[in-house]
Amino acid sequence: MADFKKVEPDLSFIRGVMDSGGETVNRCYQCATCSVVCPLSNPDRPFPRKEMLWAQWGLASKVSGDVDVWLCHQCGDCTAYCPRGARPGDVLAGIRNNAIKYYASPKGLADIMSRPTGVVAIIIFFILVVLGEIFLLGHPFIPKGEVDYEKVLTVLPIDAVFMPLAIFVVIVALKGVFEFWHDISAGAKLPQSYTGTYPRPKLGDLICDYGWKSIIEILKHDRFKKCGQTAERAKGHLWLLWSFIILFFVTNYVFIGADIFGMHVPLSMFHPVKILANIGAVMLIAGVLMVKAMRDQKTKEGVLSSATPDWILIYLILAVGVTGLGAEILRLLNIAVIAYPVYYLHLGCVAALFLAVPYTKFGHLVYRTTAYIFQRWSDEIRAGRNGFAKKMTLDH
């Protein structure tokens, strides 16, 4: 008699996917149209047909070990051609949102950051922390005279908030990435060592080969540009990506210059780095507005749907850009009564955006990059290049 394996569906996983934008998952009847029309699907490992089946059956363990979930860019092509209106791209987006929660720790923070009210509460919390610092320093919340944010907080007190936050975010993100790498290694059936661990690329190869090539591909948005129904989305995403890179550089320039070399801030409006910062801020706002406009339009056309995690990230990024640019304009206009509150709000929004990396859809930045790297590396393993596959066979 043939052996049968009992399938025990994870109902909480199914509910989570449906609540995160994948409510149409049960419409799929496995015709494979989605895998055929997807411009990003690999002929050797097509998606999203298999992911739709696993999601229907509640096989959370299979989905967590599937790197292809993260190679989907929610193009909308599968939705446009699906004869049942199952919206596979939206289902995979829901799976990714749940995966981010799964790899996040503590889980409670992921739950808080998944609700608009929770994000608002986080912003208020960090504003109160900033106001508490100002109170302890003995400074007025709205000083008299010309608007100068250093009257209330110099760079060091701000770093006292953001440095521990950044370290915490990096630790949580790295922990999630290591767990994710383990799961997708198991899903790819890579050979295990006698200790039960899976292989990883050497650090030098990771940085100089797989990582570098993947980052270049991401910076160019090559896969986004292959999308059919939402190809124009690439422009908005690209503007956002480069704005984050610019603002990351500017932030570190000011951090190093002010903390270590005693550089005076704010920088002159004609300082090259200040000009670069303003360009980055404008790109940030323009990019997120382009993404929002695209989502609004494609939702009307029925190409894709946008769940709460999508809007949380969009409006949080928009809040960071608008409050940052607003704080600068109000400082130049010397309207103290509005400038300082907007500045405090900006700091709260920036802190919340930091925290969003391992707990919200912003986690795509971490997990999709990891998926790109893993795909390049595992493809070489399967091809048996560099003698790796042969070596691993002998070792086992």
Domains of the chain, by residue range, sit at 11-103, 107-386
pLDDT at 169: 97
Helix (H, G, I), strand (E, B) or coil at 343: helix
pLDDT over 90 at 4, yes or no: no
Higher pLDDT, 230 or 256: 256
Q: How confident is the model at residue 264 (pLDDT cuts 50, 70, 90)?
A: confident
Q: How far is CA 14 from the centre of its chain?
A: 22
Q: Which two tokens stand for residue 295?
A: 């989502």
Which strand (E) or helix (H) includes residue 204? helix 203-205
For residues 71-85, average pLDDT: 90
**In this structure, which amino acid lies at residue 231?**
A
Q: What is d(CA 391, CA 396) in angstroms, rounded to the nearest whole number? A: 9
pTM metric for this prediction: 0.90
Q: What is d(CA 244, CA 313) in angstroms, rounded to the nearest whole number? A: 14
Q: What is d(CA 277, CA 324) in angstroms, rounded to the nearest whole number? A: 10
Phi, psi angles (nearest 5°) of residue 59: -85, 75
pLDDT over 50 at 391, yes or no: no
- Residue 284: how many other CB atoms lie within 10 Å: 24
- By C-alpha distance, which of 189, 71, 127, 144 is closest to 323? 127
Is 321:285 a contact under the CB 8 Å cutoff?
A: yes
pLDDT at 395: 42
pLDDT over 70 at 34, yes or no: yes
pLDDT at 392: 44
Is 278:286 a contact under the CB 8 Å cutoff?
A: no
Tell me how far CA of residue 277 lies from CA of 244, 282, 343, in angstroms.
10, 9, 16
pLDDT at 22: 86
- By C-alpha distance, which of 17, 24, 97, 21 is closest to 58? 17
Point out the least confidently predicted range of 128-137, 262-271, 338-347: 262-271
Q: How confident is the model at residue 1 (pLDDT cuts 50, 70, 90)?
A: very low
pLDDT over 80 at 6, yes or no: no
* Torsion sign, CA atoms 87, 90, 94, 96: positive
Q: Which two tokens stand for residue 73?
A: 């860019």
Q: Hey, which residues does 129 pair with through a beta bridge?
A: none
For residues 29-33, average pLDDT: 92
Which strand (E) or helix (H) includes residue 163? helix 155-187
For residues 82-100, average pLDDT: 92
Is 9:28 a contact under the CB 8 Å cutoff?
A: no
Q: How far is CA 66 from the centre of its chain?
A: 18
Q: How far is CA 350 from the centre of its chain?
A: 15
For residues 249-255, average pLDDT: 92
pLDDT over 60 at 389, yes or no: no
pLDDT at 390: 45
| 120-146 residue pLDDT tens | 999 999 999 999 999 999 999 999 999
Is 128:382 a contact under the CB 8 Å cutoff?
A: no
Which CATH number does 11-103 carry? Answer: 1.10.1060.10
* Torsion sign, CA atoms 55, 57, 63, 66: negative
For residues 143-156, average pLDDT: 92
Report the percentage of the chain scoring pLDDT > 70: 94
For residues 301-326, average pLDDT: 93
Q: How confident is the model at residue 156 (pLDDT cuts 50, 70, 90)?
A: confident
pLDDT over 60 at 221, yes or no: yes
pLDDT over 50 at 167, yes or no: yes
Which strand (E) or helix (H) includes residue 222? helix 222-226
Mean pLDDT score across all residues of the chain? 89
Q: Hey, which residues does 42 pair with through a beta bridge?
A: 45
pLDDT at 393: 41
Phi, psi angles (nearest 5°) of residue 42: -90, 130
